Amino acid sequence: MTPARSQRMIADTPEIGEVTQALRDRLEAIWETKPGFVGWLASVDHKEIGLRYIVTAFLLLAIGGVEALVMRLQLIGPDRHLLTPEQYNQFFSTHGMTMIFLYASPILSGFSNYLFPLFLGSRDMAFPRMNALSYWVYLASALFLYAGFVVGAGPNDGWFNYVPYASREYNPGLNMDIYALGMILLGISTSVGAANFIVTVFRCRAPGMSINRMPVIIWGTLTASVANLVVIPAVSLAFFLLWLDRQFGTHFFDPAGGGQPLLWQHLFWMFGHPWVYAIVLPAMGMVSDGLPVFCRHPLVGYTAVALATVATMVLGFGVWVHHMFATGLPGLSLSFFSGASILIAIPSAVAIFAWIATIWLGRPILTTAFLFFASMILLFVIGGVSGFMTASVPVDWQLTDTYFIVAHIHYVLIGINVFPVVGATYFWFPKMTGRLMDERLGRWNFWTMFAGFNIAFLPMHLTGLMGMPRRVYTYPAGMGFTTLNLITTIGSFLFAAGVLMFFWNVVKSWRGGAEAGPDPWKGPTLEWAIPSPPPPYNFAVIPTIATRHPLWEDDLDEGRARSTLDRGMTLAHGKEALATTSLDGEPDMILKMPEDTLAPLMLTLALTLLFAAMLGKLWWLAAIGSGAVLAALIFWTWPRRQLLEREAAVHG
């Protein structure tokens, strides 16, 4: 090795260049996913992984939706017996599990995975292989969790799975064991993904993108990821302890042995409430970034919205007991958590006023995406107010476990997750596929979903106020619930028809939508500066950022500072990306990025084998599974020359 080449291995002054076809060809050869089925399995391209996440999560949304429709048919009138009580229990539990764990969070991970490097001006995520791992483990855990439901052993105790009903004494089948182990497996996926988002935000931004210039969705996903990283262990631990209680006779939740059923509720909601924010904050970020584009006006109060995002999560760690107001806790505890839950309305309101002000000051263009984003504000207010109401202890005592809570959670999760996500699909679909979605069908799509949703869930508040308890498989005539339930069922089918139109629009537009070009909406952020769909390397040269809206600088004319998008570091000595400093975004290091590899898939298969063996208590198989996990990890972490993790091998 020549001294010059050896020197290049340690430090180098990056070449600065223009975007040329020769450079593009060179980068294409370096970054493209290899053809064929094995190449597909081995891909670590964040765009590929993001799309897989999005497609899988939407499929699960459809499955969870069908479960909901079956339940609505059951409840269409009094004394219906389409489902037995046990089947009904499994349906509502699986519906909750699917929507909350397998759709709401993964869909946001999908969008963030696809968009993060594009927003940040990076070539990929910080850990491309971990990115692939988080998707494969998500897929494996979804199959694992659904395996029980398919054979009639799905979870049957609601998504939050309270003991003692989840204990073996009352639930002797495999239902809860599958749910417990599947959730631990899913937790691995979420944690790995969260770590990847955090490190990507802090280390992989374009030079000049200081943290006050990041798009708001980055703030949302960053905040959610930090929360996930520290709260997922709570739920994984809770499910692990439950499995031990059920299968090995420990006494964590069993009062007879000095355990506490409330320990389950504490551990679950210490996770559960931050998690609720984790599945809405990135979606709120979608609105904060998408809405201004259609208002032709920058988001009003960027700093306030970013800080409100963080404040929501900080407060969100201290409100979990409001799910437990009716469990007989001391008055002081109730007062504290009630106060914290009421306080959290303030940062939420900051975001709402910022969006309203943005529409007010801008010149709104009523695209389908705009309709979805703007309607979210209304739905958020309704869901927020019903949440604010139940933050008050006396009100909660009246309403807990009624349909009022069901209405609240659906306004929050459909209103602040599904509506922004569908809007985001209309908004970023052209970037992902190079084609526009059909606007005419889009209007039908929006108004059907909007009308159906409100017809289904607005009356449900009343159903709850009249006292109908949630999670009952039927109700007798003459209770005053009949008409309201009929309306809800009609609304839910209308809503489902709207969702179908959305899926149809995606399929139709993917095949033959109008050509979008790189920037159909005249957006302000970096993803609109590159072709649609983006090339495997995203940016031919690393952009240099001078403002919060690199593509709107001339229109806004806020100062002399201009970003440079067509000239910059070329980083074409192999698969390379730029690392920057955490706060100021100054160039810090040239990263060697890993090639496509089957290691993430292998590790996933090994983990799945291990968990299946634990479920069946096949300890010899669990030993094989553990060995396979160890082997996959050693293969993965073995220091590689290509990644400059070690010097040239000098054996001996």
Partner 1 sequence: MAEQVISAPRSLPVGPVESHGVGWNGMACLIASEAALFGYLLFSYYYLGASNPRGWLMEPHPDLHLALPNTLLLLASSVAAWWGERGVRQESKGQALAGLALALVMGTVFATVQVYEWHAKTYAPGTSSYASLYFITTGLHMAHVVIGLAVLAMLILWIAFGYFSPLRRLPVSNGVLYWHFVDAVWLFVFTTYYLTPLLGFAR
- Considering the complex, what minimum distance in angstroms separates the CB of residue 454 from partner 1? 39
C-alpha distances (whole Å) from 140 to each of 51, 105, 162, 234, 608 are 17, 16, 25, 21, 7
- Considering the complex, what minimum distance in angstroms separates the CB of residue 43 from partner 1? 20
- Considering the complex, what minimum distance in angstroms separates the CB of residue 411 from partner 1? 30
Q: Please report where in the chains the tokens 């397998």 appear, as a residue.
A: 102
Collapse the DSSP code of 592 into the 3-class scheme (helix H, G, I; strand E, B; otherwise coil) and give the result.
Answer: strand
Residue 204 or 607 having the CB closest to partner 1: 204
Give the integer Cα–Cα distance in Å for 454 and 369. 19
Tell me which residue of 382, 508, 381, 516 sits closest to 444, measured CA to CA: 508
Residue 198 or 293 having the CB closest to partner 1: 198
Collapse the DSSP code of 412 into the 3-class scheme (helix H, G, I; strand E, B; otherwise coil) and give the result.
Answer: helix
- Considering the complex, what minimum distance in angstroms separates the CB of residue 638 from partner 1? 8
- Considering the complex, what minimum distance in angstroms separates the CB of residue 507 from partner 1? 38
Tell me which residue of 405, 401, 396 sits closest to 335, measured CA to CA: 396
- Considering the complex, what minimum distance in angstroms separates the CB of residue 182 from partner 1? 19
Tell me which residue of 221, 231, 139 sits closest to 185, measured CA to CA: 139
Residue 62 or 644 having the CB closest to partner 1: 644
* 8-state DSSP, 250: -
Tokens of 461: 């508040």
Residue 458 or 624 having the CB closest to partner 1: 624
Residue 360 or 635 having the CB closest to partner 1: 635
Give 323-352 as a 3 state SS string. HCHHHCCCHHHHHHHHHHHHHCHHHHHHHH
Helix locations, 434-470, DSSP H? 439-465
- Considering the complex, what minimum distance in angstroms separates the CB of residue 122 from partner 1? 11
Give the integer Cα–Cα distance in Å for 471 and 485. 14
Residue 126 or 540 having the CB closest to partner 1: 126
What are the residues whose beta carbons fall under 8 Å from the beta carbon of 628, sequence distance 6 or more?
A: 602, 605, 606, 609, 610
Residue 69 or 229 having the CB closest to partner 1: 229
Q: Please report where in the chains the tokens 């069946």 appear, as a residue.
A: 616
**Count of CB atoms within 10 A of residue 530's CB?**
21
- Considering the complex, what minimum distance in angstroms separates the CB of residue 534 from partner 1? 22
Q: 171 near 148, Cβ under 8 Å?
A: no
- Considering the complex, what minimum distance in angstroms separates the CB of residue 421 from partner 1? 26
What are the residues whose beta carbons fall under 8 Å from the beta carbon of 403, sequence distance 6 or more?
A: 460, 461, 463, 464, 468, 469, 470
Residue 398 or 582 having the CB closest to partner 1: 582
- Considering the complex, what minimum distance in angstroms separates the CB of residue 490 from partner 1? 44
Residue 7 or 84 having the CB closest to partner 1: 7
Residue 5 or 440 having the CB closest to partner 1: 5
